[in-house]
Structure 1
Amino acid sequence: MASMEVLWGDLLRHRADFDKFHLRSALADDPYRFNRYSIEMEGDLTLDYSRHRISDKTLLLLESLFEQAEVRGRFADMCAGKIINETEHRAVLHTALRGGVDEVSVNGQNVTKDVEEVKQRFLAFASGVRDGTIRSHTDEAFTDVVNVGIGGSDLGPRMVTQALKGWTDGPNAHFVSNVDGAHLGDCLENLNPATTLFLVASKTFTTQETMANARAARNWIVSTLGEDAPGAHFAALSTNADAVQAFGISTERMFEFWDWVGGRYSVWSAIGLPVAIAIGPERFEEFLSGARAMDEHFATAPFRANMPMMMAALSLWYRNIWACGTQAILPYDQRLENFPAFLQQLDMESNGKMVRQNGKPISRPASPVIWGSAGTNGQHAFYQSLHQGADMVPCDFLIAAKPTDASEDQHEMLLANCLAQIEALAFGRSEENVRAQLAAEGMSDDKIDRIAPHRTFAGNRPTSLLLYEQLTPHMLGRLIALYEHKVFAQGVIWGVNSFDQWGVELGKVMANRLLGSIQSGEKGEEDPAVFQRLMSYRAD
């Protein structure tokens, strides 16, 4: 088999095959293109990738790249608990959190057993909060739950709780992450301390932003209900028992997760407690089962029928062969409003690297910039650039065939808008077509000459469509795991460690040092010149 570098060279040369390619012709000339370039899973989830600048030869070359990199073998290593996060010497086992796997051990510890024990504990706690058997300091049922976290301890549960709002029948869920006091203040403004429960999500229970917000929340409870109240109004998602107890939370209300669970992969663990409280343990199990189904699909489906591999391959094709620096995530589902931000962390924190596992620089750029917004709002913001901008931006569209709880008329309008954007990006509108239309409207020739270029759309812009029956807990679990595995496969191809985040750690270290300088008013040796200006503004 050809080496990785030879395959990359073949792909670069293959790009020239598309110099005269246009999706308008490709789709018109091949009535079976959708059948050849789509994947269906479980009869209710389809990936349509027929609107891409690809051919069978493209997929053969990309498949060879995946085989040469041994993507499937690396995934098996991950699921078996092998140390694949080499810079931190850790296993990576978020797949084990989904359950239904054979026994996995890390350093002699039965991970599968530990996962089940903690899950049963936090699901029992969720049930107690939901049915009112776990009550407040004033012996009232909780009406509101505030998750205090940041990064993966916030983005994951926030996104999932919002996405599954149509399935929510528990207390109202709120999320606070920003250390800016306005975030917590705005959240608490209309809440009742006597019926508010806080979940503090920090593995070490030392995360600066999270603990600052947690202390402020504790003061809010104490100021109203007294010094003895916090124990009834707080639970911890952490492993630091001493710090949790010092804060005033019993270890009976501490739910552990492990160092082999990265923050951006942690919603399947106790970090998912706010989700379980919102939708209930049974639906939370359905959420896990969806992810488990995608794990099995990724591990066993052949390349051409494998959704995560195909999505990873297409992203590599555009990032490294077509030099596309960004990728847009465009869910036509308001409940998935936070999905682009969640995927932004998942992808860019995982693969936003310049160094390979072996410590050597990577030979080609890795993670693109991930961004996006829920449709149809984005159509009135940045879609102009998607259609006529100078940069080609590959797009992932997501839409449900059936609404969760919206009106059928509105959902049909949403479907029409989503499909129209995909068609417009692929087909565009030729200048010949524009001129004919303007002439039919009676416009003069000289005016047509001026106007036609502005109404011409090149098209040929690549899109994927993820079409699913309905956004259920099981479906959402599959969608999240789909992107997890996509990011994993890309990381293997690029040779980076997708499971550390030293860039995040650097910012934390520098923030701690600068905090001391700001509090003391004394400039440190490495502080920027703007420090003095900052302090002068504070003095005023």
Structure 2
Amino acid sequence: MTSPALHGPMAAIAALPQADLKTIFTTEPDRLSSLVLNQGPLRFDWSKTHLTGDLIDAFLTLAQEQGFAAQRDALFAGEAVNNTEGRAAEHPAERGEGKADSVARAKALHARMRALIDAIEAGALGEIRHILHIGIGGSALGPDLIIDALDGDGIRYDVAIVSNVDGTALERAMDSFDPAYTLIAIASKTFTTTETMLNAASAINWMVEAGVEDPYGRVIALTASPDKAIEWGVDETRILPFSESVGGRYSLWSSIGFPAALSLGWDAFESLLEGAAAMDRHFRLSDPRENAPLIAAFADQYYARVMGCQTRALFAYDERLKLLPSYLQQLEMESNGKSVTRDGQPVDGPTAPITWGGVGTDAQHAVFQLLHQGTIIAPVEFIASIEPGHTLDPAHHRALLVNCFAQGAALMRGKENADDPARAYPGGRPSTTILMEDVTPEALGALIAFYEHRTFANAVLMGINPFDQFGVELGKEIAKSIEADGPSGFDPSTMALIDLALGAE
């Protein structure tokens, strides 16, 4: 694979000898002690990657030159690390780690959320059996991931997370619920998000048509714009605000996590926060050589910028984590899919790779052919849990874990076959393994916070701002202009599509 053109410190990193993964445990017998890190309920294993002591030393120099420690301190101090929008990124404060007044405000808003949950459980809004959560992006992906991963721990309500503006998604959710016993949570930072508000209006109409006496009385607003929610019709007592400095894809720790806190119970939500806070402290205080998010970012940078790998594959060998790849797609690609630096200059080299993945063992019978024998090299990340999420025969979980570990070994080892090249495996393909003790709220909180900080560390090493997302706006602006002013001035292809699909409306 041809490496991209590199300059400065990255060029020096690229000039270092590349390790041979097939023999690396022979040449570096101490790799398990130097590249395996246990942090709380998580075990990180980078020993099957190309990272070496020399590479880590070089990346530590790069981190120092990029001001990593100072930028990390600025993040936790509540400074305006989101320089293009002139604001802080205070999701760690939601977990109790950050500027004192921001932490205090987050605690107060969490207390408000808990009080509302207590009132709902006491019957203040009538009998509730179903929760219809309407949001999009981070306002939906986070709660969906948490609830799906932890619902085996005794979920107390039927929950549907609806994000797509396609009415099929909303209709399917509503068809499975009784409107007389449904609570609607509307999650929108601005409370103006087009897709979310259209879905919300249709949900209200569903309740009205079913004869629900006070449909707006069954709405909980999760927003950083309480005035907009009041204007829309939600009573102030049923609005759960969160800080403007908490970005959408980092917001599950705030009131956006309301459906998880309500359906899973407050204790589970609090444990989720505590697990994330432990990872915050690890990221903020640990030695750089033992800092899990930073070491992971070193591997990411090596594969994307030195080896030119355009994708990174993630496979959860646990059905409870099947939504994790989708969650990380937004977190990583919306954060670091940029082409300019913090000061507006072109980025020197590639930034975020394409994040993709699936669930083992299903993926073994679909995409692993490319990973083992394809011409494209993609670093692979395996995630597994020591404890199963079921009570069936232990043979199920044993087979799952054996397959997970075998795939990493096979990618690295390969297999020669001079007589039949179609049955040869080149090997030398990198993988990382993250092993959880169990998929508990604490472990899940730590895992998600790890990925958040890894994303931030990557951004610092590249010199970009991970907290804006202007790239999502242009298509939405054009869609709004078509709705407001009609189709005009577009290319012939777009005009033909609009005329064919919408011309009869």
When the two structures are superposed, what TM-score results if normalisation uses the length of structure 2? 0.95
Residue 438 of structure 1 corresponds to none
Amino acid at match of 1:58: L
* 2:351/2:462 contact within 8 Å kept: yes
Q: How far, CA to CA, are the matches of 1:9 and 1:187 in structure 2? A: 52
The 3 A distance-change label for structure 1 pair 68 and 424 is same
The 3 A distance-change label for structure 1 pair 225 and 422 is same
Gaps of 5+ in 1: 104-109, 433-448
Gaps of 5+ in 2: 1-5
- Where 2:434 maps in the other structure, the secondary structure is strand
The 3 A distance-change label for structure 1 pair 34 and 272 is same
* 2:320/2:389 contact within 8 Å kept: no
**CA positional deviation for 1:82:** 0.9
Q: How far, CA to CA, are the matches of 1:298 and 1:318 in structure 2? A: 22
* 1:397/1:465 contact within 8 Å kept: yes
* 2:304/2:310 contact within 8 Å kept: yes
Q: How far, CA to CA, are the matches of 2:245 and 2:139 in structure 1? A: 15
**CA positional deviation for 1:243:** 3.1
Q: How far, CA to CA, are the matches of 2:183 and 2:349 in structure 1? A: 48
The 3 A distance-change label for structure 1 pair 24 and 178 is same
- Are 1:252 and 2:237 matched, yes or no? yes
Residue 7 of structure 1 corresponds to 9
- Are 1:316 and 2:301 matched, yes or no? yes
- Are 1:183 and 2:169 matched, yes or no? yes
**CA positional deviation for 1:273:** 0.4
Amino acid at match of 2:10: W
- Where 2:467 maps in the other structure, the secondary structure is coil
2:451 to 461, 475, 483: 483
Q: How far, CA to CA, are the matches of 1:279 and 1:218 in structure 2? A: 25
1:198-255 per-position Cα deviation (integer Å, ceiling 9, x unaligned): 10001221100000000000000011124x4213311101233343233332111001
Which range is displaced more, 208-217 or 404-413?
A: 404-413
Residue 125 of structure 2 corresponds to 135
Q: How far, CA to CA, are the matches of 2:211 and 2:110 in structure 1? A: 31
The 3 A distance-change label for structure 1 pair 112 and 303 is closer
Question: How much is the aligned-residue C-alpha RMSD, in angstroms?
Answer: 1.7
**CA positional deviation for 1:71:** 1.2
Residue 111 of structure 1 corresponds to 102
Residue 84 of structure 2 corresponds to 87
- Where 1:412 maps in the other structure, the secondary structure is helix
- Are 1:26 and 2:24 matched, yes or no? yes
How do 1:39-438 and structure 2 match up within 5 A? 39-42=37-40, 44-99=41-96, 101=98, 103=100, 110-129=101-120, 131-136=121-126, 141-226=127-212, 228-407=213-392, 408-431=394-417
The higher-RCO structure (CA 8 Å, 6+ apart) is 2
* 1:428/1:458 contact within 8 Å kept: yes
**CA positional deviation for 1:528:** 4.9
Q: How far, CA to CA, are the matches of 2:290 and 2:96 in structure 1? A: 24
- Where 2:381 maps in the other structure, the secondary structure is strand
Q: How far, CA to CA, are the matches of 1:528 and 1:242 in structure 2? A: 42
Identical-residue share of aligned pairs (%): 35
Q: How far, CA to CA, are the matches of 2:491 and 2:117 in structure 1? A: 46
Residue 3 of structure 2 corresponds to none
* 1:491/1:497 contact within 8 Å kept: yes
Q: How far, CA to CA, are the matches of 1:91 and 1:274 in structure 2? A: 26
- Where 1:39 maps in the other structure, the secondary structure is strand
- Could you say which structure has the larger radius of gyration? 1
Aligned residues: 498
Q: How far, CA to CA, are the matches of 1:527 and 1:30 in structure 2? A: 58
- Where 2:23 maps in the other structure, the secondary structure is helix
* 2:89/2:246 contact within 8 Å kept: yes
Amino acid at match of 1:404: G
